[in-house]
Chains A and B, each alone.
Chain A
Amino acid sequence: DTGVSQDPRHKITKRGQNVTFRCDPISEHNRLYWYRQTLGQGPEFLTYFQNEAQLEKSRLLSDRFSAERPKGSFSTLEIQRTEQGDSAMYLCASMRAEGTGGYTFGSGTRLTVV
């Protein structure tokens, strides 16, 4: 297990289509986070899981966004009816529940909505 994996690395989709991203965290990490980042900005929190439970969801997340972590391992983030404003880098991070260290981030999925 070499770190947090995200798939795909890049996604180009037409406006109105649905997209799904996957994140595989470090196996012993209980906490999993999704962030969104636009150019020149820091990450914006989207949602957070502890094991399979979704404990936090940002007000930024509209009803078109949904995330799951069904078995407490990998997670998926789905965006329905994509809009051009959804274009961004979507970052996944994991950490131990004890929170003694920093987050480990994946390389991200860059979404472009055309």
Chain B
Amino acid sequence: SQQGEEDPQALSIQEGENATMNCSYKTSINNLQWYRQNSGRGLVHLILIRSNEREKHSGRLRVTLDTSKKSSSLLITASRAADTASYFCATDAALNPSMDSNYQLIWGAGTKLIIKP
């Protein structure tokens, strides 16, 4: 079951512009994580934000979390051609008997980001 939904599905911007991707989810969470995946490769962990945090920074990345709206955003500032990849959000759900599992991340379908040089 997929809980996260990324928006937009695809995004194409010019190098140097900022890129914003959004993620919505359905249940209570312990944390939310963003990953990056280059075509045909494995996923790379970018940043983790806990349910009691509202904003987190890592280099050119800024992540926000709004638990009241069950949504998160990933901002990449001053984008570079090398940022071209798919970006996924994944939620680590809070202990919940109705969930299929308490030990796995729940993933969205991703946002495909293209940075034009």
Contacts and interface: CB of A to CB of B under 8 A. Distances in A.
B42 A58 contact: no
Interface stretch (A64-72, A73-81, A104-112): A104-112
Q: Which has the most chain A C-beta neighbours within 10 Å: B40, B42, B88?
A: B42
A5 B52 CA distance: 34
B25 interface: no
B11 interface: no
Interface in B33-53: 33, 35, 40-48
B43 A91 contact: yes
Contacts of A108: 41-42
B104 A102 contact: no
Contact of B103 (A4, A48, A93, A107): A48
Given A42-B2, A42-B4, A103 B105 contact: yes
A89 B48 CA distance: 24
Contacts of A99: 92
A107 B45 contact: no
B104 A42 contact: no
A110 B40 CA distance: 8
A42 B34 CA distance: 12
Q: Which has the most chain A C-beta neighbours within 10 Å: B43, B48, B92, B103?
A: B43
Contacts of A6: 42
Nearest to B2: A42
